[in-house]
C-alpha cells in the first residue's frame, strides 16, 4: 500500500532541534526527532555554532524517520522555524565566520540604546519597523559586531537569521520571510521591505541579505542533492521559506488572516511571549510589532526569564517544580538574565518581602508569580494594540502554550493572576506543527493558516476563569514600579 505524503516541520530553537513528521493531509503527528544544541557564553554573551544546528537537523530528521517508520521517499516538503533575531555572518562559501549571536545575548544593549537615539527615539522606530531596538534585535547585534569585531563585519559575504541559514543549506537559496525579517530592526513593516535608511544607519549592505518572500509558505526551491544526502531525504522535495518560531507557533494555532484574529496567546518556554494575529499594524514602544508570516501582523512581547529562571529558583531551594505555594508577602522578580519586557537588560533577580514565616515553597511560588506577572502585564499592552476594550479582552480565552503549559503550577498561576478563561491546546509541538503547515502549503499552494486550522492543531482543553488574585498582582506591580530605577 503506498505511503501517504509526509511533510517535515522543524523547530530549531535555542536549546534543540525538533523535526516533526506529519501526515500532509490531516496534520497528524507521526513522530518527533530531537537533537540538542550547545549554547556558550557568560556575562551576557550567548552564542552557538550554526554548523551544530545543521548537524542537529540531520540527527533530528533521522530520528524522526526511524520513530515514524515511514520511508524517506514519502516526504514531500520541509520548512524551518527558527529562534528569532540571531545574527549569522557567512563567508563567500556560505560558512559561518564566527558563532551566531543569539537572541538572548544582552551585550548589544548599549548599541540598541544608541540606535534608538540616532533615529530620533522610540516613536521614530515604531513608525517604521513597528518595534524599538532592544538587545535582542538583530540590528543591535550587527552594530555590536561592527564595533567590537570590525574585521569579521568587513569580511561578511552574507548576513542571515538562524532559520535563513538552515533554509539556505536546504535549497541553496538565500531567502527569508516577512515574519522573521520583521524582527531584525532593518525591515519596515510599514512598507513590507528592507528599509534603506535603517541599513545605512547600522552600516549594513543590503546585498548581504536574503530576498524576502511573500509568505513563509512560499516555495523557495527544492532540496539540493548535497542536502538530501546529509539528511537522508529525497532530492527535489519542496523547501518553504520558513519563518521565526513565534510566527510558526501562530500558524500552528490557526492564528492569521485565514483563521483566528485578535485572539491572545501566552507561551511559557525559555522565554515568555504573548502575541496575537491582527489586521492592525502595531506601533507601540512597549511591543515588538512583528509581521506574521501570512500577511497579517503579529504584535508580540517577550520576557527573557520564564521557565528556566523558575527552574533555577527551584533548584536553589531543592524543591520540585510543583512544590510551590502562593508567595504570600514575598515578591521575587526572577530577572536572572536581565530582562527584555520591561526593558531592563542589566537587571538581576530581586527578592523582597521576606518574613520569619516565609517558606521555601512560598519563595518558589513567588518566582512563578513574578514570571507570570511580567508576561501578563505585557499582555495588557498587546490587547490595547489589537484595539480590544477591557471587556472584550477579558471575554476572549487566553491560549496557553509552551513547556510551561504542561505544568500544573504554571497553569494555576496564570489562572490566578489573570482571572481569564484559558485554552490549553492538545498539540505540544506547535512551532514544529506550524512549520509543517508551511511545508504542506509550499507543496499544495494552499494558505498555511487555513491548512493548520483544518488540521485542528490549536484545539484543546478549556478552563473556566477563577477569581483574580488582585492582592498578589498589586503587590508585585508596586515592587516592580519602585525597583525599576535600581534594576536599570
Which amino acids are annotated catalytic? Answer: 245
* Grid cell locating 132: 524599538
Is residue 166 within 8 Å of residue 53, measured between CB atoms? yes
E strand or H helix at 297, and its extent? strand 297-303
Rg of the chain (C-alpha set): 21
End-to-end CA, the chain:
64
With cell 472584550, the residue in question is 392
72: exposed, middle or buried (Cβ count in 10 Å: 0-12, 13-18, 19+): middle
The DSSP bridge partners found for residue 461 are 424
d(CA 288, CA 78): 28
Residue (of 399, 441, 74, 39) closest to 242 by Cα position: 441
Per-residue DSSP letter, 263: -
Is residue 251 within 8 Å of residue 438, measured between CB atoms? yes
* Neighbour tally for 486: CB within 10 Å: 10
426: exposed, middle or buried (Cβ count in 10 Å: 0-12, 13-18, 19+): exposed
d(CA 384, CA 68): 44
What angle separates helix 408-418 from helix 470-487, to the nearest 10 degrees?
100
The DSSP bridge partners found for residue 80 are 10
Per-residue DSSP letter, 222: E
d(CA 287, CA 298): 10
Per-residue DSSP letter, 206: G
What angle separates helix 408-418 from helix 360-385, to the nearest 10 degrees?
60
For the residues of 303-336, what is the DSSP string, one character each?
A: ES-SHHHHHHHHHHHT--TT-----TT-EEE--B
Residue 333, CB-side half-sphere exposure with 13 Å CA sphere: 28
Per-residue DSSP letter, 286: T
What are φ and ψ of residue 403, in 5° steps?
A: -60, -35
Amino acid at each position: 500500500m503506498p505511503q501517504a505524503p509526509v511533510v517535515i516541520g522543524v523547530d530549531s530553537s535555542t536549546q534543540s532541534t525538533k523535526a516533526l513528521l506529519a501526515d500532509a493531509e490531516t496534520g497528524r503527528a507521526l513522530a518527533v526527532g530531537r537533537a540538542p544544541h550547545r549554547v556558550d557564553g557568560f556575562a551576557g554573551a550567548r552564542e552557538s555554532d550554526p554548523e551544530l544546528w545543521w548537524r542537529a537537523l540531520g540527527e533530528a530528521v533521522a530520528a524522526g524517520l526511524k520513530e515514524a517508520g515511514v520511508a524517506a521517499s514519502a516526504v514531500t516538503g520541509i520548512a524551518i522555524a527558527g529562534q528569532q533575531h540571531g545574527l549569522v555572518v557567512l563567508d563567500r562559501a556560505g560558512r559561518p565566520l564566527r558563532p551566531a549571536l543569539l537572541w538572548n545575548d544582552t551585550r548589544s544593549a548599549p548599541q540598541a540604546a544608541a540606535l534608538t537615539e540616532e533615529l530620533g527615539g522610540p516613536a521614530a522606530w515604531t513608525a517604521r519597523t513597528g518595534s524599538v531596538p532592544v538587545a535582542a534585535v538583530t540590528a543591535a547585534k550587527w552594530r555590536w559586531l561592527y564595533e567590537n569585531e570590525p574585521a569579521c563585519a568587513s569580511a561578511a559575504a552574507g548576513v542571515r537569521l538562524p532559520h535563513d541559514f538552515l533554509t539556505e543549506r536546504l535549497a541553496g537559496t538565500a531567502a527569508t520571510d516577512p515574519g522573521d525579517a520583521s524582527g531584525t530592526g532593518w525591515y519596515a513593516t510599514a512598507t513590507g521591505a528592507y528599509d534603506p535608511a535603517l541599513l545605512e544607519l547600522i552600516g549594513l549592505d543590503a546585498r548581504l541579505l536574503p530576498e524576502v518572500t511573500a509568505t513563509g509558505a512560499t516555495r523557495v526551491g527544492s532540496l539540493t542533492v548535497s542536502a538530501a544526502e546529509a539528511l537522508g531525504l529525497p532530492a527535489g522535495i519542496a523547501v518553504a521559506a520558513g519563518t521565526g518560531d513565534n510566527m510558526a507557533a501562530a500558524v500552528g494555532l490557526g492564528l492569521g488572516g485565514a483563521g483566528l484574529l485578535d485572539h491572545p496567546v501566552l507561551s511559557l518556554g525559555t522565554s515568555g511571549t504573548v502575541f496575537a494575529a491582527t489586521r492592525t499594524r502595531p506601533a507601540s514602544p512597549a511591543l515588538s510589532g512583528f509581521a506574521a508570516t501570512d500577511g497579517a501582523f503579529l504584535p508580540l512581547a517577550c520576557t527573557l526569564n520564564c521557565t528556566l529562571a523558575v527552574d533555577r529558583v527551584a533548584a536553589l531551594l531543592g524543591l520540585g517544580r510543583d512544590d510551590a505555594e502562593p508567595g504570600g508577602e514575598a515578591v521575587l522578580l526572577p530577572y536572572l538574565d536581565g530582562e527584555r519586557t520591561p526593558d531592563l537588560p542589566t537587571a538581576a533577580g530581586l527578592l523582597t518581602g521576606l518574613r520569619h514565616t516565609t517558606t521555601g515553597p512560598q519563595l518558589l511560588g513567588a518566582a512563578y508569580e513574578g514570571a507570570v506577572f511580567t508576561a501578563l502585564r505585557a499582555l495588557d499592552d498587546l490587547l490595547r494594540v489589537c484595539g480590544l476594550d477591557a471587556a472584550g479582552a477579558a471575554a476572549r480565552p487566553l491560549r496557553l502554550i509552551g513547556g510551561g503549559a504542561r505544568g500544573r503550577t504554571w497553569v494555576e498561576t496564570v489562572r490566578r493572576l489573570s482571572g481569564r478563561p484559558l485554552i490549553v491546546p492538545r498539540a505540544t509541538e506547535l512551532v514544529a506543527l506550524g512549520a509543517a503547515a508551511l511545508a504542506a502549503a509550499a507543496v499544495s499552494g494552499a494558505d498555511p493558516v487555513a491548512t493548520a486550522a483544518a488540521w485542528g492543531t490549536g484545539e484543546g482543553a478549556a478552563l473556566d476563569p477563577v477569581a483574580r488574585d488582585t492582592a498578589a498582582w498589586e503587590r508585585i506591580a508596586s515592587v516592580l514600579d519602585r525597583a525599576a530605577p535600581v534594576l536599570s
